[in-house]
Structure 1
Amino acid sequence: MDTIRSLMKQHMSLSAMRALANSKVSYTTAKKYIKINGFVAQDLKKYVASRKKPLATILSISHAQINSKNKMTRTYRIANPSYLTLVKDGYGISKNYVPNDLVTVNVATASADTPNKMRKAAATALEKMAKAAKKKGLELVINSAYRSYTQQEELYNEYHAMYDTETADSLVAKPGYSEHQLGLGVDMTSQSVVDGKYSTFGETKEYQWMKKNAYKYGFILRYPSSKTSITGTSNEPWHYRYVGKKAAKECYINNWTLEEYILHHGFDTKIIYAE
């Protein structure tokens, strides 16, 4: 009975509890895996057989697809997104998810109707970064920040009307799988691009400055050109993601993507296997 109560506290589904029972692995052995975010009951026997440390075995067996070099075979849902939540193919958030601390970012926008809201911590950090850039004679501009599920769906459909499926999927995230819905992803540009001096953000001094300094404010360049095989997303020099100063600094020092950070540290929130 104590074991059942413990599993219920983990919000484990009936099918997962059934899989645990059918595995014939003792609860004492299973317990060290169950407590790790990303645990999948159906994989328990594989975990035990691997003889690796619990976190390493769960990530390598149940979540090898974090690295997009590996084929995506499963779909997971993030119950309560955090600053370090991984959102990409296979790892989605609810269509109803809306951050409860969205605020307007006090940074210039590319146009009057540019989405310019982010979660409060990310907004504050971006404002500080824009002020620091301005002291260097650089003018950062927001091209797009928070987008709801519906807004992402509209954008997704727009791209699919213009391009073939493969091209469109490489350029825009599926609804429910976009960092913009988290309120933590932001597409940046510069006043020099808005004014027509440069055609893309990647050509600008602002981009070069952000690459070197964004981590100081808790942001990482989310989709660098050298890591497209890992992220599964084509090079986006304009897309930055707020993860907090500590994680951003570690990613910068080690030249890690968010995928690589998680493969070293694991998930910090509950990941639900969509059986």
Structure 2
Amino acid sequence: MVDPGPDYAEVMASRAATLAVDQRRVRLSPHMTPACWDVMLYLMGRLTQSCPTSMELHRDGTEHRWVNRLLGIDQDFLLGNSGTLPQHPLAFIGKQVPVDIRLLTERDGGWCVDAELVASSFGPVAFDAGESLRLLPTDQVCCRVNWTFSDDGAGNEVKQHPTTDEGWGGLQLRIDVDHLIPLPMTGTSALLSRTRSATLADIATVPEWAGQLADAVEALPEAIAASKGVESCRVSVAAWLRSQIADAEEAVVQGESAA
């Protein structure tokens, strides 16, 4: 869920830089402060599970000590006392995890985002819960995975198709992994979102991956293809991927013949 990964320091530096230049990416409602403390402690616990040699969380009543050796952090704080942290608890933990954080409240039959920190370079601050998220139970940890194609670094859906065959390789597969979590102290629902992307050219270097993706986009029902915004390009994407597989197979045959 929050595994730091080998590029942790680089990712955290990028997130901090993004937050520094765009204040709209952090939104806090005063009544959500207890939930912000709740999600901070929850994520600290998950980090210690993922990286026990580099992360430590010590508790003694309301007194806590948080150690993140990968970022050089050693912080004592009192639970609920914002003056004992260098910044708001949501901002403090949001710069130490590779996920975007939204704290949700159910109102009028839907989700309302009452606090959020969105530092991903892919996604805008605007949020749409989507029908699948509304159907998830709120009393247990749930996970959903969504994917689409993007033709720019911001992760937006494909608006303009490549004009050359080679151009399809620059198209990106964007994958969003969301975890919906009931926080232990307040019961607030937290949505943690992590986004990754890879170009089709990168995917095509592994023929098994290219074949699997081509099968997936061809088999999508029309309604789902439309909801993902891939209905206009999926035939071309599948054809390009299969052409790369064919080229790789031909290169292997030629190599064997030459040997």
Normalization by structure 2: what TM-score? 0.23
Q: Structure 1 or 2: larger strand share?
A: 2
Q: Structure 1 or 2: larger helix share?
A: 1
Higher RCO (CA-CA < 8 Å; seq separation 6+):
1
Normalization by structure 1: what TM-score? 0.22
